[in-house]
Structure 1
Amino acid sequence: MGRPVGKHKSARLVFGCVLLLGCGLVYDYFWAASPRFTSSSSFLSSNWAADNPPSSITVPSTPDRSSLEGRPAARDDAPGRVLSATFADLPGPELKWERMAPAPVPRLDGAAIQIKNLLYVFAGYGTIDFVHSHVDIYNFSDNTWGGRFDMPKEMAHSHLGMVTDGRYIYVVTGQYGPQCRGPTAHNFVLDTETKQWHDLLPLPVPRYAPATQLWRGRLHVMGGSKENRHTPAVEHWSLAVKDGKASETEWRNEITIPRGGPHRACVVVDDRLMVIGGQEGDFMAKPGSPIFKCSRRKEVVYGDVYMLDDENKWKVLPSMIKPNSHIEFAWAHVNNSLIIAGGTTEKHPMTKKMVLNGELVQFNLDTLKWSVIGKLPYRVKTTLVGFWDGWFYFTSGQRDKGPADPSPKKVIGEMWRTKLRL
């Protein structure tokens, strides 16, 4: 006896619907995990807004078990942090953070220089389509913002190299404009006493986010990214400078840096020049885009530390606890230690999303050892840091999506501080 025709058709219809639903779920999973999806969700314009965490927060040193056992995580604005075991958060002691007056504008990839009790905060993205072209000043003595003034029209707006001699601030190259526009070779000097800008001899070629420092009477510019924004550069130039002026007519070639790339800290301590962390590769402009729309490319984040001394050879120092990038203005020199706040580490192995760091780390310059000395209020990259009267401050950057998701979300202008006892 044959099967009823109606039942046979119904079975085929049900099987077909299940098959289509299954295909849709598989496609949705792979699309959500793809670099195209993650680049737009973690970096571009839909995530550029201010956030409002509590004004005072104590950060616990270990994860809440609920996140490890699959129970709902705590709200993003709740005191403390709930960490997921999936991500590379490192344990550390508790710190009490106090929220101070926020910066006048939120900033990503801006720059900052401290001179005595003043923190000069420069440029940066406000959104992916808008960049700042001014300087804000924070006074650590009375914890207020003020004294805003404009930058030169030809000056870069992000990915700057910057250093000071205590009065003059040397501003080197960087990206001109929003999205992923090209770099400029123009350099400038700011006299912080008169608030006057002056031109400085341009670089031989433009760079993005080169490591920049003053060492032995010369302005050193190293590495960064080449003109396409992605290819690591290893060139190292120097220029003799004094009192905000160059005493030479061309940049001198120096020993190339062992590993190129942008977004690294660069420090001079005890007549030693050091470069710390960084990455190879970065976002590039999408080919043919009239607005130079940013497009994701492969990035490799590293924790390498190199040093130049009297022998004029790069020496390898102990690597960071974990790879770290976007830390060029995220450090302070405190009691013969370097303190670094936040940054980015390697991509998540499954989602391929950018992972932000939420630790405050110390590099002891006597022992050459790294350690975690505390947690930040949240994970954040491109922090702008200062230290005054025992207080460690950070402002600005791009924070995470919440305690259980370390990928980037909102650009912030908040100012936080904690008392350091090293």
Structure 2
Amino acid sequence: MTIVPDLLDFDELLSDEERSTRDRVRAFVDERIRPNIADWYDRAVFPTELVPELAELGVLGMHLSGYGCPGRSAVEYGLAALELEAGDSGLRTFVSVQGSLAMSAIHKHGSEEQKQRWLPQMARGEIIGCFGLTEPNSGSDPSSMTTFARRDGDGWVLNGAKRWIGLASIAQIAIIWAQTDEGVRGFIVPTETEGFVATPIAPKLSMRASIQCDIALTDVRLPADALLPEARGLRAPFSCLNEARYGIGWGVIGAARDSYATALSYAKTRVQFNQPIAGFQLTQQKLVDMAVEIEKAQLLALRLGRLKDAGKLLPHQISVAKLSNTRAAIAIAREARTILGGNGVSGDYSPLRHAANLESVRTYEGTDEVHTLVLGAHITGISAFRGAATEGAS
């Protein structure tokens, strides 16, 4: 049984449909992910066998409508992200890369032909996509990317490199962002194209049950219809990143909740000085602090979800959740580990795994520093970014 803090009766704020979606994903995590994740993490294995099951669950491109996509609400997608990350950040990241990044890029910026060709297969998990924006020397400042696409007759030739690209070595298509003589543009690149090479990054101390890669692009030749026609400038990839950041604001609560639940269960059964350690004042303070922060994070995420479903969500509001909820989740995972004592470093318990994963989540889709400056610019009206980086950060 999943232990959930219930200080404010959060479920009362959800519709029957939202609770049903949440419970369905939670049951999947309990059955398919939770019993196996320690082994996957230890062996640094991403369970590709779960891809068709995740498609059947309806979480691939979950928030997108049409073209075979599930068309669920933003709140339902957020709740699903929370439950998936309670299993592991790597599994939630797969859903995010597939749906919020790769599929969203095609859904938002692709031609009708591109949408019809790719999205139904991606929603069914038959095609895996990745999203190539970050480069070895271009992380928080994507305006400095050096990957370049030049016109060659009716087509294009791409050269460059990308780094920390989720799923690239198992993907069938890559959304690659490149500088051109017309500014930043996006391309759908079949990964079997000559000159495209994806190499998994190893060893990793975080996100071990996930895949991140280096991509090398050497004279990659593409036809004219590989171009995403509606993607122009940095606002195009960042409209997709905002979809992913929204999911993160929900997802990290799952890692925090699972860490809390593990610590609470352990504290009730671990006896020291002739009583369960849950009866000690310092342990209770830790548990209360965790529960309160989880409740606050859920309310923040739900507020964003309601705004998103109403079409009113703004980029700086997403930054509030990405910054605050991720920061809180890391603190909760670390504190939960202390309740476990020495046993907390064992793979039998989840908090330290969650804490390690959250260091990656904290970094990707905008670091703490980037989101702080996004909010600083909103509050003061003065941007601390330089040049084009302002657009990229928002």
Q: Which TM-score band (shorter chain)?
A: under 0.3
Higher fraction of strand:
1
Scaled by the length of structure 2, what TM-score is found? Answer: 0.26
Scaled by the length of structure 1, what TM-score is found? Answer: 0.25
